[in-house]
Structure 1
Amino acid sequence: MSLPVSLDSVTPHPTDHTGASEDLAALEAIRQRVLWLSTSMIHHANRVRPNPTGLKVGGHQASCASMVSIMTTLWFEHLQPGDRVSVKPHASPVLHSINYLLGELDEKYLTTLREFGGLQSYPSRSKDPDTVDYSTGSVGIGATAPIWGAMARRYVDTHLGDTGRGRQYSLVGDAELDEGAVWEAILDPGITDLGEVVWIVDLNRQSLDRVVPHIAARRLEKMFDAAGWQVVTVKFGTLLEELFARPGGDALRTRILDMPNPEYQRLLRCTPAEVRDRLPGDGPGSTQIAELIATLDDATLTAAVRNLGGHDLRALSEAYRQIDDTRPTVIIAYTIKGYGLPTEGHPQNHSALLTVDEYTQLASALGMDPQHPWGRFAADTSAGQLCQSTADRLRRDATPALPNLTIPTDIGRTPKGTATTQAALGRVLLDLTREAPEAAGRVVTVSPDVSSTTNLGGWVNKVGVWSAAERHNWFADDAETIMHWNERPTGQHMELGIAETNLVGLIGELGATWSRWGQPLLPIGVLYDPFVERALEPWSYGIYAGGQSILVGTPSGVTLAAEGGAHQSIKTPSIGLEQPGCISYEPAFAIDVEWTLLASLARLGRPDGTSAYLRLSTRPVDQTLAAVPTDPAARERRRRQVVAGGYPIRRRDDAQATIVAMGAMITEALAAADRLEASGAPADVLCITSPGLLFEAWQARQGRASGQSWILDQLFPADRATPMVTVLDGHPHTLAFLAGINRVRSTCLGVSKFGQVGGLDDVYRYHGIDTDSIVAAALDLLP
């Protein structure tokens, strides 16, 4: 997907920095206070607050310290109210410290880090009491979120109105660049046009357990550059740059640049005398280096070794000014993990905590009182005035009230003939454009290069493909081209490369526009069901962060017989059952798809909203088997049952067994019921659309959850309790709990081993979910 540059999106980014020495002094005072506050929050959580269980609380003082200068300069000099920032997970105390100094966080929260109901371990939009733009915590996901946030913002601008302007910053730890999902996002072709995206990499060259020996920073620069990004590297601070200009400076620069990471880190743990001995090395420039550093006193020498660009306020400010807003930018800032702390540069300082004595020494060095650690700046000080002016500058307007969207519950058609639930998806979307055009106008579909094979072709032809500027369709006059790829700003389909993590990241941010700008979108991501597991973590994290979306997995199950075991999903029904903040459906008929999809759309884009997962099939099913009632009241009753989790599709007063089926397996279930009846053992047949909703209803009946349980009375009345056979095209445990509702004997059929290539009958027989297997299981349960 290509996103042409929009000139409105790349207007020059203003800054309030004047460069005056008094401003720099105020900024330095704030930097030190942020270091102190973030360190103190973690110290209090671990050393002061009572901990009766003795369980480790944790925190990352060193990871915070390496980000303090980067974040102080960004917030107090450069950020604008329209900007959004994703903060690396372990730097959450730095974010809270800045918000506290800006008056956005009450002092009472500073003692609650990692406490129940208090400040979260990692930044959370939904759970922290102060301003958090992006939830982070799972490595790599928070880094890429602003990319999708930028795309979502542009989409809202082209469809629903102006959201203002602003950059999308990601503050990234260098270890996060090990995540493959990060590079999937960076390399997507459309990303090169998102000039508002800025990444700042905290290059401290340490991982959890060690100093990374070969960080290959130059290779990272080349990789970002090859992807079309502007690359700004901030290696050295003002002091070192000044030393490089002196006699012997060139040799010193070369020595530092050529020095292995572990050797450099070791210098940070040395006394001044040891630095004088180690720093020159034994190379050709060692004499010049020794002569240069001999002119420095111990304090200057110690400061020079630590004077990397990621801690130099002037160097950082200059780097921020170089952002050109015409393409994505990455600022690679060299830093020291634990900068300014006694644990500075230690190979194992990642989770290390200052001792009480070290904390007291830090307080003395920073002029703070360890007994009263939460002081703000006085209003009449230059630092206090800078905090106030920054708070005024960054103040945002309130989010507009949400519009009232009307989404129909039933379009009114009754499908005939033979159809698949996958094909029904596209038909419902097209019907929605006619029946509810205002709601349909907020639907945006996203797929990873599988639009045609997931039956979205008709929808894409109807609504077009989204692009920030209109593009010429060179195949518009080709009569043999069935799918029309018309790219324009009014398009409602967005297509990414084959990277499922990108897809779910994008629908998560499209699903968060209601809370950011008061403009709800109804995002639907469509991908092959076997790949849902690949996308699960970032999608789940997007739900946690407040992104409400619909994920459609299709085709699904071993019903995809000819594709073989590698493309036959087994565990995805369990995902739908277990995923928090999500309602899952596996419809059996086209009408079930309509009703569940419309119900899922109606739950999006609101404070109490939820995401949805629809598992669809390519198995053709006779639609007359649904036996949709013709009476309007009876039809509505069926619809409510479908949306609530299931419905009885066949009842017999003399039933001796109950067959419970989900999805396309309803065909085999009904065929088995016919054979059982012919054998003198009639059976009820229940069609389950959402095991997750039924489990919640069961929990509610037992008083373990809120909600209603009426659907259980209609599906499993106690006076109709009979032995039960459950069957689905997925793992059998998904429906196993249903036998516990009335405590009946049961057999659970499903797929619990890798599949095989073959015809549908052969594959069903191999897994024991064919009609014969259902009949045999039912007979085995009877007396």
Structure 2
Amino acid sequence: MTSTPEQATQPTSGAGAATGDVDVDTLRQVSQRVLWLASAIVDAANRGRPNDTGVKVGGHQSSSASMVDIMVALWFHGLDHRDRVSVKPHASPVLHAVNHLLGDLDASYLPTLRERGGLQAYPSRSKDPDTVDFSTGSVGIGATATLWAAMAHRYVRSQFPGSTPEAGRFISLLGDAELDEGAIWEAVADPQVASLGELLWVVDLNRQSLDRVVPDIQIQRLAAMFEAAGWQVVTLKWGRRIGELFARPGGEALRRRMESMPNEEYQRLLRADSSELAARVLGDQGDQDDPALRELLAAVPAAELSAAVRDLGGHDLGLLVDTFAAVDDHRPTVVFAYTVKGRGLPTEGHPNNHSVLLNATQMQALAEASGTSLDDPWVGFAPDSPAGRLAARRAADLARPAVSEVGRLSVPAELGHEHRKPVSTQAALGRLLADLVRDAPETAARVVTCSPDVASSTNLGGWINKTGVWSVAERRDWFADDAERLLRWSESQSGQHIELGIAEVNTVGLLGELGATWSRWGERLIPIGTFYDPFVGRALEPWSFGLYAGGQSILVGTPSGVTLAPEGGAHQSVSTPSIGLEQPGCVAWEPAFAHDLEWCVLRAMDQVGRPDGTSAYLRLSTRPVDPALARVPEDPEGRERRRRQAVSGGYRITDHDPATEQVTLVGVGAVMPEVLAAAARLGERGIVAGVVCLTSPDLVWRSFQQRGDREGGTGSGVLDLLLPPGHPAPLVTVLDGHPHTLAFLAGARGDRMRCLGVSQFGQSTSLPDAYALHGIDVTSIASAALDLLGR
């Protein structure tokens, strides 16, 4: 076991002693019952459920076992109702077992792990029937969620102090292998995190990953990395039972031997017969042979030695209780708790125990050791027993007041400004946000923007100048007296923009938690994150997981596609249009014109931060486009009709009778000038070309899917407006992204079709050259139409 200095003050009382007002013997009884319930939950899902599919149900009894004592110390002593805890994915059965004993989960759910309508494979805030504070299962993301939740709570409390409830600690329980994930270290290293004293991470240091015993845990390196980021590091290596042996003559030699042996050798001790332990601990010491160590080992009964070598800090309930109570709350803390994977099970310490299931004989033996039975596996404690009284008391302590209902917010449908000059959708977003402060202050007060060091280059400067930058702590603005400064970067707890470092994963993690404040604290926020669109893919998985966990936000990818031609292939996004269309819990938008941008963003804002809400992804451009090309009707009724069509997914720009149409050109986003120019060129040849502008291929796809829905789908029917069923015509679709995004339109009427877009890596060019290179220029669009017409 790799050595590290003890950094926790460990009380000296023996095993079974009371720690403060806690009876450790009762906690141990609870822990044994939780171990049984967690194991039985997995057992019932596999051996107790008919399964003729050939697909295993699975579950993780050993991974759960190593976390049992840590969770019992927290739920049955350390937590209060204000605390929020993220639980290691593979320990979900432990969470459900604890919730059951606390009266938060009916026994009928316990046999339903990984079953439809039952307990989820990993803790799910949105899909499990009991209390789950954070969804986990995406390694690294669930653990870091507590960090962003702590920051989100500080933000919302600073903005709405009178109505936002207090919070306690934000606790992550994670496995040591999870520290391999880069997302962990991106989050830990963010400068603002060092001020979050409400953060507590507990690492289940069982020294095993899925496939093996980890050969070199390098805890000193990990601890140094946390310390360098400003965290307090506490290491719980040994429990008090073996600590008593260390205090005897020869004990220091025993400690040195135990701490110098490789992880694999230590794990082998756990699998050895107790009669072999003394010899294995002695090993081949050669010149280092210590008579005092031999004498100590000879004096210790085999059963006691077997218990002692398993006595790690992560299984000493009294030590855990004292440690959690003594944590310094002025800075974030990480506790490295040494544990044994499979603790208390026949699979204890086996290098391949990750997914191994106990057989019937082993389950029967565990039931007997736990004071229960396979015939009645879900029985709780007698109400008048010490464990029963403790469970009842802790259930009352942890009962949370209901989250207040989210207040109503009237987001305007439009701000009423004219859009007459050519402007990019990226610039239009910046103007919209800046105008929002004056034109719709109640909505603006709920908006919080985030970016990974690209705020100014994504046009948030006007918004930042009006609202300021939010920070965990006030910072002096040394450029406040610089008259030539255009961007006023004043950091305080009253600002509404949060700037993180160049780490997109961090930003979407924060977006997810800012977007969950309506359900956690009853305060609605409208979080908007701006990214360079080529890097959306980097942040996609954690953003998607945040959506799954109930976080609602608006992700803005800008600039997008090859339209930012001089930047070259490294900054040209291809696949993001279909990413947006395929992302659950999200509506994807790609408006072409400034007025479309305004309408669509306000619609997206209206949908964020509410029980029936949804997230949004906007793909924007830096290319100025003349709004006159959209031919927005001048009369109020016509303008409103256009707005409704735009927020439904698209509209027709041409106003001729679709029955006269020989070909239909469908465009999205920044390429609309080329689409309209191609239609004009075709018109010069006597060809009537209709032009459709899509603001959201996503919503049009949904309209396509809901057409003819026998269950009464709630689609807008916009597809029939765009492509009238009675007037088929060949289609040419064009977008600055992968052409397959719009391929579904061929199924609307069975039209022949050509899909134009970007399917290759780009290069640095001028804009005309980029469009010509990828075949989305005027000539290519017109030629595709002529080909379909046989001309």
Give TM-score, length-normalised by structure 1. Answer: 0.97
Out of 509, 522, 527, which is 1:523 matched to? 527
Q: Which AA in structure 2 matches 1:674?
A: A
Out of 343, 347, 353, which is 1:339 matched to? 343
Q: Which AA in structure 2 matches 1:671?
A: A
- 2:60 is equivalent to residue 56 of structure 1: no
Out of 567, 578, 581, which is 1:577 matched to? 581
Contact 2:195/2:472, CA 8 A, preserved across alignment? no
Out of 589, 592, 598, which is 1:588 matched to? 592
Partner of 2:119: 119
Q: Which AA in structure 1 matches 2:68?
A: V
What SS is found at the alignment partner of 1:491?
Answer: coil
Contact 2:573/2:737, CA 8 A, preserved across alignment? yes
Out of 380, 403, 408, which is 2:407 matched to? 403
1:603–1:633 distance in 2 versus 1, CA, 3 Å: same
Contact 2:559/2:622, CA 8 A, preserved across alignment? yes
Contact 1:153/1:163, CA 8 A, preserved across alignment? no
Partner of 2:26: 26
Residues of 1 paired with 2:257 and 2:474: CA distance?
52
Partner of 1:690: 696
What SS is found at the alignment partner of 1:555?
Answer: coil
After TM superposition, the structure 1 stretch with the greater mean CA deviation from structure 2, 712-721 or 453-462, is: 712-721
Contact 1:564/1:756, CA 8 A, preserved across alignment? yes
- 2:754 is equivalent to residue 750 of structure 1: no
- 2:152 is equivalent to residue 152 of structure 1: yes
Residues of 1 paired with 2:127 and 2:22: CA distance?
37
1:423–1:722 distance in 2 versus 1, CA, 3 Å: same
Residues of 1 paired with 2:34 and 2:481: CA distance?
62
1:555–1:31 distance in 2 versus 1, CA, 3 Å: same
Residues of 2 paired with 1:18 and 1:426: CA distance?
61
Residues of 1 paired with 2:178 and 2:291: CA distance?
39
Partner of 1:676: 682
Contact 1:596/1:643, CA 8 A, preserved across alignment? yes
Contact 2:267/2:350, CA 8 A, preserved across alignment? yes
Residues of 2 paired with 1:19 and 1:548: CA distance?
43
Show CA shifts across 1:274-309 (max 9, x none): 212111122315543222121111211110111011
Partner of 1:775: 782
Contact 2:192/2:471, CA 8 A, preserved across alignment? no
1:543–1:704 distance in 2 versus 1, CA, 3 Å: farther
Residues of 2 paired with 1:416 and 1:85: CA distance?
51
Partner of 2:642: 638
- 2:149 is equivalent to residue 142 of structure 1: no
Contact 1:310/1:333, CA 8 A, preserved across alignment? yes
Give TM-score, length-normalised by structure 2. Answer: 0.96
Out of 225, 235, 238, which is 1:236 matched to? 238
After TM superposition, the structure 1 stretch with the greater mean CA deviation from structure 2, 49-58 or 449-458, is: 49-58
- 2:738 is equivalent to residue 734 of structure 1: no
Give 1:224 deviation, angstroms.
0.7
- 2:378 is equivalent to residue 371 of structure 1: no
After TM superposition, the structure 1 stretch with the greater mean CA deviation from structure 2, 602-611 or 713-722, is: 713-722
Show CA shifts across 1:353-398 (max 9, x none): 0011111111122222111111100111111111011111111111
Report the count of equivalent residues: 767
User: Superposition pairs for residues 244-259 of structure 1, below 5 Å?
Assistant: 244-259=246-261
What SS is found at the alignment partner of 1:48?
Answer: coil
Contact 2:771/2:777, CA 8 A, preserved across alignment? yes
User: Superposition pairs for residues 34-113 of structure 1, below 5 Å?
Assistant: 34-113=34-113
Residues of 1 paired with 2:570 and 2:526: CA distance?
31
Out of 287, 298, 312, which is 2:302 matched to? 298
Out of 638, 649, 652, which is 1:648 matched to? 652
Give 1:529 deviation, angstroms.
0.3
What SS is found at the alignment partner of 2:47?
Answer: helix
User: Superposition pairs for residues 139-538 of structure 1, below 5 Å?
Assistant: 139-161=139-161, 162-283=164-285, 284-538=288-542
Residues of 1 paired with 2:320 and 2:725: CA distance?
70
Unaligned runs of 5+ in 2: 1-16
Partner of 1:11: none
Give 1:603 deviation, angstroms.
0.4
Give 1:165 deviation, angstroms.
3.0
Q: Which AA in structure 1 matches 2:61?
A: Q
Show CA shifts across 1:11-57 (max 9, x none): xxxxxx97269711111110000000000000010011221323200
1:728–1:27 distance in 2 versus 1, CA, 3 Å: same
Contact 1:698/1:709, CA 8 A, preserved across alignment? no
1:662–1:266 distance in 2 versus 1, CA, 3 Å: same
Contact 1:158/1:468, CA 8 A, preserved across alignment? no
Q: Which AA in structure 2 matches 1:69?
A: D
Q: Which AA in structure 1 matches 2:314?
A: G
Contact 1:652/1:683, CA 8 A, preserved across alignment? no
Among the aligned pairs, what percent are the same residue? 61
Partner of 1:541: 545
Give 1:472 deviation, angstroms.
2.2
Residues of 2 paired with 1:116 and 1:52: CA distance?
16
Residues of 2 paired with 1:143 and 1:165: CA distance?
18
Give 1:704 deviation, angstroms.
7.5
Q: Which AA in structure 1 matches 2:378?
A: W
Give 1:435 deviation, angstroms.
1.8
Show CA shifts across 1:71-130 (max 9, x none): 000111110111000001000010010000000110100011111000000001111111
Residues of 2 paired with 1:63 and 1:288: CA distance?
37
Contact 2:148/2:513, CA 8 A, preserved across alignment? yes
Unaligned runs of 5+ in 1: 1-16
Contact 1:651/1:683, CA 8 A, preserved across alignment? no
Contact 1:156/1:163, CA 8 A, preserved across alignment? no
Partner of 1:715: 722
Show CA shifts across 1:628-649 (max 9, x none): 1111111111111111111101
Show CA shifts across 1:402-439 (max 9, x none): 11101000111221111000001111112211221011
What SS is found at the alignment partner of 1:279?
Answer: helix
Give 1:163 deviation, angstroms.
1.8
